[in-house]
């Protein structure tokens, strides 16, 4: 019997990295069902119930193998989440080797697709003599910066000391201040996190291709920059296949309260507030958002997480605190007719696609950004960490589908409630907000075209699948 053509996929820890790869796998199988995919999943502790539900609902052509857990006690403590993400995969390499050996025996294994933080798996692809691809979960402009960074490090690394200096990223029509770049470059050059990020960027040049979750009409110049060989001479082929987003929660019970509440609100009247799967804000800013919501008088649905001075404090490890206790005294009573506060998590796809949702106060993570674009919801940009400041600048200054509140005190990062109320009213009420709404609707239409039968992203995916099928 002829062995089935198989592709192995290696995500890294973090829901924001696993889910896009899962959705990409589902899209690939849907369009090219003669392929077989196997997810090999490194884990830092047991998977959450929501991750289990996602994996257990995969179509027949996609298998998954949750690798033995890596103990957080075996990893450095009090470090950037990116270090834990990368080291979890590094510690899982023996288990990955074993799983790939088994797959290679049972199937016609042709390729290994891995997250950028899982790129230690590259040497396994070389060992098994199979194709290697990075699935890049951020946008094309961030990819362009990553491809640029090794040369920047060699030639002008001193500029990263002065956060007010500017850097020209290939494919961007505006320069970025150093302080707004991917936050991993802001560490000391001798630090472990800086070295890890530099190593990840260097490895991008040694894979067979890079799959980026973006589409031409959203990032035309950046995609052109990473695809053409004039700027990045030795870079691999780049396949823009986005927007790849989640299809929604698998749990009806978990979304019932939110959706029932939205069902009773007027069209486009509700501001949705969420800082992603693990972002946190300070207690001072939590209070300012609460007072800003009150002052604006706008309806809101707020996914509340316990505050923390570290913006990424709960990215890999969830919190079990009583989140509502951090709200200003009397806030819930004063706003009970105005809004709904839910702890930790809400069904974001269902909320953004709901007719009552009119705006999104977002941390500008790439997944949330794409979800907002696809569902045509204008944004208030409140970036926290990783590449989110770069995303925010593109959304506000280039695409002009978001507004950004001004920080009152740069050292503390506090945004005053009067400023929060001002940007809420812009998005939800004013003429400027209507123009933003029109622009994001046009971008949403372009996303649908990219994913259509003859769209640019569908063509890119077909080219990629053809490579797999002809090995």
Tens-digit pLDDT profile for residues 36-91: 999 999 998 888 888 898 999 999 999 999 999 998 888 888 888 899 999 999 99
> pLDDT tier at 253 (50, 70, 90 boundaries)?
low
Q: What is the mean pLDDT of residues 234-258?
A: 83
Task: Calculate the average pLDDT of the chain.
Answer: 93
Determine the distance from the C-alpha atom of residue 283 to the mean position of all C-alpha atoms in its chain, rounded to a whole number: 24
Determine the CATH number of domain 5-242+452-469.
3.40.50.2000
pLDDT of residue 338: 98
- The residue extents of the domains of the chain are 5-242+452-469, 253-447
Cα 408 from Cα 183, distance rounded (Å): 21
Q: What is the mean pLDDT of residues 99-117?
A: 97
Q: For residues 303, 307, 312 and 315, what is the CA-based torsion angle, rounded to 10 degrees?
A: -50
Comparing C-alpha atoms, which of 356, 363, 381, 360 is closest to residue 372?
360
What residues contact 163, with CB distance under 8 A and at least 6 apart?
Answer: 177, 178, 179, 186
Cα 152 from Cα 81, distance rounded (Å): 24
Cα 45 from Cα 68, distance rounded (Å): 9
- Whether 325 has a pLDDT exceeding 80, the answer reads yes
Q: What is the mean pLDDT of residues 218-224?
A: 98
Which helix H or strand E contains 188, and what residues bound it? none
- Whether 268 has a pLDDT exceeding 90, the answer reads yes
| 232-243 confidence digits (pLDDT tens) | 999 999 999 999
pLDDT of residue 317: 56
Cα 296 from Cα 293, distance rounded (Å): 5
| 162-202 confidence digits (pLDDT tens) | 778 899 999 999 999 999 999 999 998 889 999 999 999 99
- Whether 320 has a pLDDT exceeding 60, the answer reads no
Task: Please report, in angstroms and rounded to a whole number, the separation of the first and last CA atoms in the chain.
Answer: 17
Quickly count helices (H) and strands (E) in the chain: 17, 15
Q: What is the mean pLDDT of residues 4-16?
A: 94
Which helix H or strand E contains 151, and what residues bound it? helix 140-156
> pLDDT tier at 249 (50, 70, 90 boundaries)?
low
- Whether 158 has a pLDDT exceeding 80, the answer reads no
- Whether 375 has a pLDDT exceeding 70, the answer reads yes
Distances (CA, A) of 449 to 24, 218, 243, 370: 17, 12, 11, 14
Q: Looking up tokens 């609100």, which residue turns up?
A: 265
Q: What is the mean pLDDT of residues 442-469?
A: 97
What residues contact 175, with CB distance under 8 A and at least 6 apart?
Answer: 166, 167, 168, 169
Question: Which of the following CATH numbers is that of domain 253-447: 3.40.50.620, 3.40.50.2000, 3.30.413.10, 3.40.228.10?
Answer: 3.40.50.2000
Cα 134 from Cα 9, distance rounded (Å): 10
The catalytic residues are: 17, 115
> pLDDT tier at 278 (50, 70, 90 boundaries)?
confident
Percentage of the residues of the chain whose pLDDT score is greater than 90: 80
Structure tokens belonging to residue 68: 């033995």
- Percent helix, strand, coil in the chain, to 5, is 45, 15, 40
Compute φ and ψ for 364, nearest 5 degrees: 70, 25
């Amino acid at each position: 019997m002829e062995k089935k053509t198989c592709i192995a996929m290696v995500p890294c820890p973090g829901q924001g990295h696993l889910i896009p790869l899962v959705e990409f796998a589902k899209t690939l199988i849907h369009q090219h069902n003669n392929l077989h995919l196997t997810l090999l999943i490194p884990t830092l502790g047991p998977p959450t119930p929501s991750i289990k539900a996602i994996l257990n609902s995969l179509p027949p052509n996609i298998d998954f193998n949750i690798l033995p857990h890596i103990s957080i006690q075996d990893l450095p403590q009090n470090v950037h989440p990116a270090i834990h993400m990368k080291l979890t995969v590094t510690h899982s390499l023996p288990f990955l080797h074993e799983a790939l050996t088994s797959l290679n025996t049972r199937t016609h294994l042709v390729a290994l697709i891995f997250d950028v933080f899982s790129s230690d798996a590259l040497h396994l692809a070389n060992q098994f003599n199979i194709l290697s691809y990075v699935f890049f979960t951020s946008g094309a402009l961030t990819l362009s910066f990553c491809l640029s960074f090794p040369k920047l490090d060699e030639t002008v690394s001193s500029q990263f000391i002065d956060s007010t200096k500017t850097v020209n990223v290939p494919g961007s029509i505006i320069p970025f201040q150093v302080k707004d770049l991917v936050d991993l470059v802001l560490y000391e050059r001798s630090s472990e996190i800086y070295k890890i990020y530099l190593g990840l960027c260097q490895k991008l040049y040694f894979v067979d291709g890079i799959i980026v979750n973006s589409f031409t009409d959203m990032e035309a110049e950046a995609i052109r920059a990473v695809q053409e060989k004039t700027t990045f001479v030795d870079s691999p082929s780049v396949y823009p296949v986005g927007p790849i987003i989640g299809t929604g929660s698998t749990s009806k019970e978990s979304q019932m309260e939110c959706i029932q509440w939205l069902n009773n609100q007027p069209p486009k009247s509700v501001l949705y507030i969420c800082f992603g799967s693990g972002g946190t804000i300070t207690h001072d800013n939590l209070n300012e958002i609460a007072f800003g919501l009150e002052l604006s008088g706008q309806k809101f649905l707020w996914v509340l997480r316990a505050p923390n001075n570290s913006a990424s404090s709960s990215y890999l490890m969830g919190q079990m605190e009583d989140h509502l206790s951090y709200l200003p005294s009397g806030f819930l009573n004063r706003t009970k007719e105005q809004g709904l506060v839910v702890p930790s998590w809400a069904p974001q796809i269902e909320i953004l696609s709901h007719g009552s949702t009119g705006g999104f106060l977002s941390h500008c993570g790439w997944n949330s950004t794409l979800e907002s674009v696809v569902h045509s919801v204008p944004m208030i940009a409140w970036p926290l960490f990783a590449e989110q400041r770069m995303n925010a600048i593109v959304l506000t200054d280039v695409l002009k589908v978001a507004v950004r509140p001004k920080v009152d005190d740069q050292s503390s990062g506090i945004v005053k409630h009067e400023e929060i109320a001002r940007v809420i009213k812009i998005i939800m009420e004013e003429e400027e907000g209507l123009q933003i709404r029109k622009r994001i609707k046009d971008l949403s239409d372009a996303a649908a075209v990219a994913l259509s039968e003859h769209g640019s992203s569908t063509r890119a995916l077909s080219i990629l699948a053809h490579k797999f099928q002809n090995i």
